Amino acid sequence: MFLCIQEMNGSGAQTTEMEGVNCLDDEAFFERFRGTSMDQNQSAQNLHIARVVLCAGFILASFGIQTAQAQVDDCSPLFACDSVGCDSLSCDSALCCGENCSGEDCLCKSIRKSLADSGITFSNNLTQYYFGTVSGGLEETARYGGHGDYVANMDLGKLGVHEGLFLKLRAEHRFGQTIGESAGVILPPTLAADLPVADSEGLYLTNVLFTQFLSERFAVYAGKLDTLDGDANAYASGRGITQFSNVAFIANPIVLRSVPYSSLGCGFIVLGDEGEPAFNFLVMNPTDTADSDGFDELFADGVVVSGEMRVATDWLGTPGHQLIGASWSSRDYVSLGQDPRIILPNVAINRASDSWSVYWNTDQALWVDPCDSSRHWGYFARAGIADSDTNPISYLLSAGLGGASPLRDGDSFGVGYYYSGTSDEIGPLLVGALGPIGDSQGVEVFYRSQLTESISVTPDFQWVDQAREQVADAYLLGLRMNIAF
């Protein structure tokens, strides 16, 4: 459960990279614009201005590079041999920029490809959110924030260390503010902007994960890992940066109480016919250590055990999946704690040991592009129950449609509905801090437009029927921009 060995495209939601464009030097960014000599307000203002200027620069640079490339070497996607049609041009030409480009004179060779051939690949994302409460909630206002995600995957076999051994490194940071608290919601509407540590803008290593394949389909792993890639779904995952933004459609929130976001762990995976994990078993430290190495806390408060099985189906003659998973934690729970994946005060609860969850999800394609089987859209659904003595959410149901846009290649869309049941045991304990608490429900609709190979812009609308009964329904409008490099 909760492990992604490789960064894979969510089916239908294509993600691409701009080779050779370094969009962000994170260390230089923070060192320059987070100076300690300024007062807090002036520092925040200058930091905001700097980010806006940088974002504008990224966009202009990306458009300029792509335009120049298209004029000089015909490497624009419009001229790529694999974009004209299903049975069009051959890929033997040196001007071809498709995946099948070959030959010593191929113009698409790059430093990045050379590194990949040596066993080192990168998958980086800078995602920005500008979301506002247009009606309802606690305050009608707007917030700007964002998230940086920098991933390096190393094939240590190609690097001469050991055959079948891989290392995954992930560094993350957040910046700015999020709209969740102003909207009065419990489930974060822009989850990624709250990760990895809600009250810090520091850069943290959330993955230092070693994986050793013992056969083509069986591998063991150990190290520090994050859990956001668990509960995978073709149309409702994406870590909050490529598909839905609300946590209710990224992974099942009922698992969050028993499984931390980032900590030390080990386990094994079995790959299916598609090359994706079909079964995953994990033993993990029960406390979140995103902001530390975690060795001092390792198993001091107990242990988390989880398992997840995901089976490919072909019920309608189109691709689909069925997933079932469960988690159990031996930790003693005495308060709700502070978790960026759910917005609740740190109030005391009745002491309880152990916590568990059981969940299921499905995705099923309804349409597949006859020219490109990776482009499809379909439906998804989730359901889960959890221990109501320790978990503020006792059950969750969600369903929707999503996938590749039928209107334009490279674009994707999603529309989803969720219903979250509040625990009868913990709900009354929140009354003093939040007022009367009931169940909540919500809707999210987005359309992700791929502007260039590296930049996508996503208008997003959310409606939330509040769990806090004294807070009006929140209507949120926002814009998300992702730069992949």
Summary count for the chain: helices (H), strands (E): 5, 16
Residue 13 has pLDDT above 90, yes or no: no
* Whole-angstrom distance, CA of residue 350 vs CA of residue 275: 44
Element (H, E) at 107: none
Taking Cα atoms as reference points, which of 210, 326, 328, 318 lies closest to residue 258?
Answer: 328
* Burial class of residue 403, CB neighbours in 10 A (0-12, 13-18, 19+): buried
**pLDDT classification of 338: cutoffs 50, 70, 90:** low
pLDDT at res. 348:
76
Question: What does the buried/exposed string (b/e) look like for 263-284 if buried means 16 or more CB atoms within 10 Å of the residue's CB?
Answer: bbbebbbebeeeebbbbbbbeb
8 A C-beta contact, residue 279 and residue 308 = yes
Lookup: tokens for 31: 């060192």
Mean pLDDT of the region 198-217: 96
Report the distance separating Cα 348 and Cα 446, nearest Å.
37
What interhelical angle do 26-33 and 40-73 show, nearest 10?
140
Beta strands in 247-303 (DSSP E): 262-271, 277-284
CATH 2.40.240.10 fits 116-484, yes or no: no
Residue 264 CA, distance from chain mean position: 19
pLDDT digits (tens, 9 = 90+) for 353-397: 889 999 999 999 999 999 999 999 999 999 999 998 889 999 999
Domain spans in the chain, listed from the N-terminal domain onward? 116-484
User: If we measure between CA atoms, which residue out of 351, 352, 277 comes closest to residue 307?
Assistant: 277
Read off the pLDDT band of 35 (50, 70, 90).
Answer: very low
Q: b or e along 39-75 (b: 16 or more beta carbons within 10 Å of the residue's beta carbon)?
A: eeeeeeeebeeebeebbeebbeebeebbeebeeeebb
pLDDT at 234: 97
pLDDT (0 to 100) of residue 210: 98
Residue pLDDT, tens place only, 69-103 = 444 344 444 334 444 444 443 444 444 444 444 44
Q: Whose CA is closest to 153, among 2, 374, 308, 4? A: 4
How far is the CA of 10 from the CAs of 325, 403, 461, in angstroms?
A: 20, 8, 21
Bridge pairing between strands 262-271 and 277-284: antiparallel
| C-alpha–C-alpha distance, residues 276 and 191, integer Å | 25
**Exposed/middle/buried for 7, CB within 10 Å: 0-12, 13-18, 19+?**
middle
pLDDT of residue 37: 38
Does the predicted model carry a pTM greater than 0.85?
Answer: no
- How many Å separate Cα 356 from the centre of its chain? 23
Predicted confidence (pLDDT) at residue 39 exceeds the cutoff of 50: no
For the ranges 71-85, 140-154, 393-407, the lowest mean pLDDT is seen at 71-85
**Residue 94's Cα: distance from chain center in Å?**
36
Environment class of 157 (CB within 10 Å of its CB; exposed 0-12, middle 13-18, buried 19+): middle
Q: CA-CA distance, 67 to 110, in Å (whole number)?
A: 18
Distance CA 421, CA 387 (A): 12
Does the pLDDT value for residue 222 go beyond 90? yes
Q: For residue 306, is pLDDT > 50?
A: yes
109 pLDDT band (50/70/90 cuts)? low
What CA–CA distance (Å, rounded) separates 333 from 209?
Answer: 28
Output the six-digit token pair for 195. Answer: 């990760």
Q: Which residue, among 447, 383, 59, 54, has the nearest Cα to 242 in the 3D structure?
A: 447
> What pLDDT, on the 0 to 100 scale, is given for residue 23?
41
Say what the pLDDT of residue 111 is: 84
What are the tens digits of pLDDT across the range 268-303? Answer: 999 998 888 999 999 999 999 999 999 998 999 999
Q: Return the amino acid letter for 209.
A: L
Most confident of 54-58, 114-118, 476-480: 476-480
